[in-house]
Structure formats: structure tokens, C-alpha cells
Structure 1
């Protein structure tokens, strides 16, 4: 993080937003808090740093059409699950995978979640990532590409670069 923020500052970027997820942990499994991040940014980089903790209302924002459509589609699937269930049918979990509503047994979903937690506790991060759905892997890959310290380095030699003007 310090490497990336430092390089951004060296390039003239004056503002940085660092988001710390609830339950964030370091590679050694120690918790990472917003106060820890603040201390590192102040001590190592000498940055004027503030922490803002978002409440539950601030996280989601105002619902948009997609939110309402998604809730309706999941509601329809939940009703269909109830109508199709028998006493032997396992309790379902209604979710979304690759923009498609899906239904799977709740026990399986919980088991998979526990496997991810187990892999993390064993510091087997590759396994933990592989247990997640394909969208998670894709989003992680995109996040890592966007947030690499050297993503602004030129790919082509100077003589092969193009200039683009918009008028």
C-alpha cells in the first residue's frame, strides 16, 4: 500500500482513498484496522490522514432500478423454491452468479463458506481464492491490475506510441 501511495504522490496525485474491509487480515492472519492503516500512512509517508467509518446507510446509497429488479427476480425465485419444495427438499439459498439468479442448498453454501475460512486460517490463499466464484476471481484480478504500483508505466517504446487528440 505504501509503495503504491508513494508512487502516486511522486506522480503528483494529491489525494488517496484507502478502503479497509471489515474483518481485513494481513498475510500472517493478524487483523488490519483503519487505525493501523492511518498509523502507517502517517508514520511512513507523513500524510495528513483521516478515517471515516461508513455506517450501514452510507454503504449502499439510494436504490436504483437494478437493485429493484434484482430483489424482484430473487423474490420470484424464492417463491418458486417454496412452491416446488417437498419435505425432503433442502433449504435453499437464492443468489446471483454471473448475473443469473441461482438456487443452491443452503447447507452447501455454508459448507463452501467454511472451506474458504479454513483455507484462509491455513494461510492457503490460493485455495481460498479458488473456492470463490468466477466473478470474485475476475474482480480480484482487475483490482490487482488497477492498483499495481507500476500500472502507468509505458508499454510501448516512445517511437511506437500514438498521440490522440479530441476536438
Structure 2
């Protein structure tokens, strides 16, 4: 019994030291610039309702304006979030949208529509914690209709 207690105590101490040690792993917050000249809102007409939906459901991972929650300072959550956010910004960044070629913009919007319609975005892991990021059918419809209308305007430029 005493040996089991000593083993358990040793294991808990090692675990605690590990948890403390991983807190020193640096995290990369990438909030480059706020809305610059290349932001989608500077390039195209984005109605206020659409902007509001994008802000609540997309911008934390797909803009330069990520709002990092308190738990983003705690490892291993920080590393997990960092990976998701960096991949999200690399895939689509609404604050860099104007720097994409027109064909890429068109394809990103089409991808946005498909992911919204298939409920692939926002990620379930995100909406579990950020309940306000869950999109209603009306909001999905509003975003996809806006995106399709914007793509139709882009067809002229292609």
C-alpha cells in the first residue's frame, strides 16, 4: 500500500512538473495588421449584416483580428489553437483578401459557400466553446447569397 502511494505521488509530481514545463513553450499570436487596404471590406461591398456574421463566426481564424481567449495562454491549448488559427489564416484571410488574384478570390468564395452549405465551417470544435458563432440557416443563406452575388460580379473581371 505504501509503495502504491509513493508511486502515485511520484507520478503526480512528474505530471505537475510536466504541465508547468510546457507552459514555457512559446505561442505565436499572429495579429499582423488590422483592416488594411487589402481587407475584403475595402475591396468589395460587404453589407453590415454579413460583416457581423463574418466577425462572430469567421474572423478569429480567418482575419488578422483574432480575439485570443484567456485559455490561449495555457499549454497545450495554446499550441492546439495556434495550429488551427495559422492554418485558417493561411487558407483564407479576409484582411488579405484583396491581395489574392481574382481567380483565387472567386475560388475562395465558392469554397466558403460549399463549406457553409455542408456545415463544415465554422468548425464544431470552435462552436462548442463559442456558441455565438453557430450559424442559423438564415445566416448561412445570407452569407452564401452574398458570396454568390459577389462572385457573379467577379465573372465580368475573369
Q: TM-score, length-normalised on structure 1?
A: 0.23
Higher relative contact order (CA 8 A, sep 6+): 2
Higher normalized helix content (fraction of residues): 2
Q: Between Structure 1 and Structure 2, whose CA radius of gyration is higher?
A: 1
